[in-house]
Chains A and B, each alone.
Chain A
Amino acid sequence: MPFHIVVCAGIIPDPLQTLEPIAGPTGPALKNEMMLPAVLDPWAGHALYEAANLAAHAPGSKVWLVSAAPKAKLQQVMMNVAQKASFELVPIDVPANGFTDAQAVATHLAQAIQSIAGLDRSRLLLFGGWESASRGAGVTMQIVGEQLGILDQFQGVDQLTLQPDGSFEILERIEGGRHMLSTCQGPPALLGWATGNLPEPRNNPQVGMANMRTIMPALQKAKPATLPQDALRYHSVTPPRQQRQTRIVKDRPAEEIAAELFQWITQE
């Protein structure tokens, strides 16, 4: 059975850069955020790679990538992502950053999905990240699903296996480092992916060229949208404390290294 897979994917400032929260005129922001390169939210990235893999195993399937982000940044990210999997981009040009309201973003995403021409709800699988690297609310996908009336929702998914009868088995992460196995009769369904099991696909120039024929026109046509400025009020914002110590050791048993790391991590 061919699927219509819609992947909701945000972008985030490259976590390899120095990220420094500041109090901006409209709330918290990252210092010089427009100077920082952006990457696809890694949680959503796993969802995209799983979508591409599923589409490859279900001939006739199609993948859309719906993203709410500043257009210029999204364009930058597409130069990397478009080489990895075939998809059609549905951009929403909003000044989103790591401090936007999940409800507002989800509403934009749901509206954009509803406006996709030719999307067959009976074949719809809505993919996204279970979490986000920009904020840990983890509710955006759930709200998108609710707004689209998708009742079968799975979060923390690590594996989806198609069954001969068209149903699929889903492995969801649950407490205690274990998985829960569920069976879903079929679309429509929402899957918030954890890490999945697939490696990042290789860069394929032909895939990139084919994608760009639709991505650039879509970006050029993307209409600017707004997000409410007063939906959320942050009392304080603190980045994770970074601590780094470097030492070079050779020929040391792994157990000793692990023990020292444990001691180092737990010392405070």
Chain B
Amino acid sequence: MSAPETAAIPHLPGIERQEMSVDIACVGFGPAMGGFLTTLSRKLMNEDGTPHLESTASRGMPLQVICYERADGLGFGVSGVVTRARGIRSSFPDSDLKQIPMAVPVRQEKLVYLLDPIGASRRSFALRVKDRVLRTLGSIARLRDHAFEMPFTPSFLQKHDGMIFSLGQFNQWVSEQITSSGLVQIWPSMPVAEPLIQDHAVKGVRLADQGVAVDGSPSDGFMPGMDVRAALTVVADGPVGAVGRQIDNLFGLPPGNQQHEWALGMKMVIELPENTTLTPGTVLHTFGFPEPEIFGFLYVHPERLASVGIFIPSWMRSPVRTGYRYLQHFLMHPYLWRHLEGGTLKSWGAKSLQESGRHGEPFLVGNGYARIGEGSGSTNVLSGSGVDEAWTTGVQLAEAVIELLEQKKEFSRENLEATYVRRRRASWVDAESKIAANSRNGFEHGVVTGLIGMALAGFTRGALSLPSRPQSLNKATSSLDAMYGSRISSSELDGLKKDCAERGLALHDRIMDRSGWPEVPLDGKLLISHQDALLTGGSVQAAPGYANHVIFVRSELCKECEPKLCVEMCSGQAITRGEDGVPAFDREKCVYCGACLWNCRAAGDKSNVEFRAGAGGLHSTLN
């Protein structure tokens, strides 16, 4: 057997690695993998206890399926989940999904435009006019607490028949169902470093080395990552997962596809005050504040818990955009604060969302591998829904795998195309992704144009859309002068940059202060410092013995790069300004949101950040 081709990870020479063979190796446990393993595990055995699908890796045994997850627990995912749950419900026709902790059916849904009560938000002339009109009309326009409740929620956004979930609780519940069968193994705390590739086929995965120093060199208790060989590798490691991205780097994307649109989602789970009037099942979608480009949400769970969060899109051009402080200002908007004041932060988390949708779809299958979930471009960027779509792609792949195994066919690209991809193309997931495909056109020209484009695509079910497509990431960021020149003079901006560089601080706080954003009055309960949110809300941990997973590839490019968006947008303040101009990375604070990856502009359109497999991260199951 020839040695596997390497993907991107530098290898330690002369290291002998253990090998293990299974039938199906799975990477990443989230909704997509939940759908895959739920469906597959139900078909592994016959009713008489004999294997229905037999292993070729271990003769006489049932199919050997093993799943590796980077996080330390299977419930440490992050998402604000309101979903129609069509795919999920069809997988559990006899289960009451309300039994899942924090789950509740959607009872009421509102779309709310938030005006700026502070005057610090960067609003276009058109928006300022609109705000002025609304304020003038006041109660006639049903303006209340600086917010305008839209008279209806567009049909393409509606989740009226859906469910609110906590992704962490949902994943935990699903994993219990799967593993209780004893037929499938799911291993947390086990990052997968890379795919094993031979002759342009994926032959399995290599697990991350353990017992290494931060630079990856062997240290105490060195244990080389094992090679797990498999006939099929199922890749569901999300939008910034190491395996999916290495496959993309090697095989490229289908012609015309790109992954230029991203967003950072940041959320809190808040225990509402005892006298809250919010009822479980309430869903609020917001836009307009804290910046026009930032969308927000508030979902009310049972037990006085609420998920509250924002999305910061890549087309928000600010080079000093940040998540945490904007989230705090979002909470304090009068329309929300009347419900949240007196609440307590229970959990916090952040993640990147791949928002290119259908345009960002990679090759869904190849010889020996298949892609499911968000990393496969399944998120619907019009309805803002991803969990149910991801789940359904997992179900579709499982059905395809069962079909191929029953027919004793190999997992070739052609066979997976004819089974998995065919199912996906014939499904509602694909039909709706076509409608959504161009719905983001226009946002690069501003939020108003973008909303018009979204409405056009949504109301015509994709028949019409604005012609333009979002620009490449590199072109989507303005200079500091262009963004803040009307408020802060060039010389003052230069002074702020210099001062922050000398003091090793991120710029965004200073810029926001100077732009009129008030200081956040920390109350020790809900409004707490970023680091406190990280440590008490996210309970971020990093087990020793793993290498740094964020690598700045060419340091000379980082030295020249200003402002350093990787520092500004780091959700956990894990990336800071290094003394020599190269960002410093502290893996003990990293929440694996991956924002550094797609925010990096140092190498033009190609990221100078390598986001490898790592262990640890968030330790909260409420998100």
Residues of A within 8 A of B (CB): 14, 16-18, 32, 34-37, 72, 75-76, 79-80, 83, 199, 201-206, 208-209, 212, 216-217, 219-220, 244, 246, 248
Contact = CB atoms under 8 A, between A and B. Distances in A.
Nearest to A217: B182
A16 B539 contact: yes
A14 to B, nearest CB: 7
B322 to A, nearest CB: 17
A203 B187 contact: yes
B221 interface: yes
B73 A72 contact: no
B242 interface: no
A18 B537 CA distance: 9
Contacts of B226: 205-206
Nearest to A82: B187
A83 B190 contact: yes
Contacts of A206: 18, 20, 226
A111 B355 CA distance: 56
Interface stretch (B80-88, B443-451, B528-536): B528-536
Contact of A16 (B187, B346, B545, B619): B619
Interface string B513-550: 00000000000000001011001100101000100000
Given A37-B172, A79-B74, A205 B619 contact: no
Nearest to B504: A250
Interface residues of B, number: 46
Contacts of A37: 73, 75, 172, 619, 621
B621 A202 contact: no
Contact of A80 (B72, B101, B102): B72
Contacts of A75: 176, 179-180
A35 B75 CA distance: 10
Interface string B210-228: 1100000000110100101
B188 A80 contact: yes
A209 B189 contact: no
Given A72-B176, A79-B186, A14 B223 contact: no
Contact of A202 (B210, B531, B535, B622): B210
A83 B182 contact: no
Contacts of A80: 72-73, 188-189
Interface in B166-188: 169, 172, 175-176, 179-180, 182, 185-188
B207 interface: yes
Contacts of A76: 73-74, 172, 175-176
B620 interface: yes
A71 to B, nearest CB: 8
B176 A32 contact: no
Closest 5 CB pairs of A and B: A216-B182, A16-B539, A35-B101, A202-B210, A16-B619
A217 B536 CA distance: 37
Among B179, B347, B622, find the residue whose CB has the most chain A CB atoms closer than 10 A. Answer: B179
Contacts of B73: 14, 37, 76, 80
A37 B347 CA distance: 14
B403 interface: no
Contacts of A36: 621
Nearest to A242: B536
A17 B226 CA distance: 32
Given A18-B347, A202-B545, A219-B182, 19 more contacts: A35-B101, A37-B75, A72-B180, A75-B179, A76-B73, A76-B74, A76-B176, A79-B179, A79-B186, A202-B211, A202-B221, A205-B20, A205-B68, A206-B18, A206-B20, A209-B66, A212-B185, A217-B182, A246-B529
B502 interface: no
B189 A203 contact: yes
B494 interface: no
Contacts of B180: 72, 75, 219-220
Contacts of A18: 346-347
A245 B207 CA distance: 38
Contacts of A217: 182
Given A16-B539, A16-B541, A37-B73, A203 B210 contact: yes
B303 interface: yes
Nearest to B529: A246
Given A75-B176, A76-B176, A205 B532 contact: no
B541 A35 contact: no
Interface of B is mostly: mixed
Nearest to A73: B176
A202 B223 contact: yes
A206 B179 CA distance: 18
A202 to B, nearest CB: 4
Interface in B61-104: 66, 68, 72-75, 101-102
Nearest to A206: B20
A242 to B, nearest CB: 8
B621 A199 contact: no
Nearest to A199: B221
A260 B223 CA distance: 40
B453 to A, nearest CB: 40
28 contacts: A16-B541, A17-B621, A35-B169, A35-B172, A35-B622, A36-B621, A72-B180, A75-B179, A79-B74, A79-B187, A80-B73, A199-B220, A201-B221, A202-B223, A203-B187, A203-B210, A204-B223, A205-B187, A205-B190, A205-B207, A206-B18, A208-B185, A209-B66, A212-B185, A219-B182, A220-B180, A244-B536, A246-B535
A192 to B, nearest CB: 26
A128 B619 CA distance: 26
Given A199-B221, A205-B20, A205-B226, A32 B188 contact: no
A201 B179 CA distance: 23
B102 A35 contact: yes
B122 to A, nearest CB: 29
A204 B303 CA distance: 39
Interface in B103-128: none
B68 to A, nearest CB: 8
Among A76, A204, A205, A209, find the residue whose CB has the most chain B CB atoms closer than 10 A. Answer: A205
A79 B188 contact: yes
A100 B496 CA distance: 58
A76 B169 CA distance: 13
A248 B226 CA distance: 39
A17 B74 CA distance: 15
B20 A209 contact: yes
A72 B172 CA distance: 11
B187 A17 contact: no
A204 B72 CA distance: 14
Contact of A35 (B182, B532, B621): B621
Contacts of B186: 79
B613 to A, nearest CB: 13
Interface in B488-516: none
Contacts of A209: 20, 66, 185
Interface string B251-263: 0000000000000
A17 B545 contact: no
Nearest to B539: A16
A203 B190 contact: yes
Given A75-B180, A80-B72, A32 B189 contact: no
Contacts of A212: 182, 185
Contacts of B347: 18
A209 B221 CA distance: 21
A28 to B, nearest CB: 18
Contacts of B190: 83, 203, 205
Contacts of B182: 212, 216-217, 219-220
A163 to B, nearest CB: 27
A145 B68 CA distance: 39
A83 B221 CA distance: 15
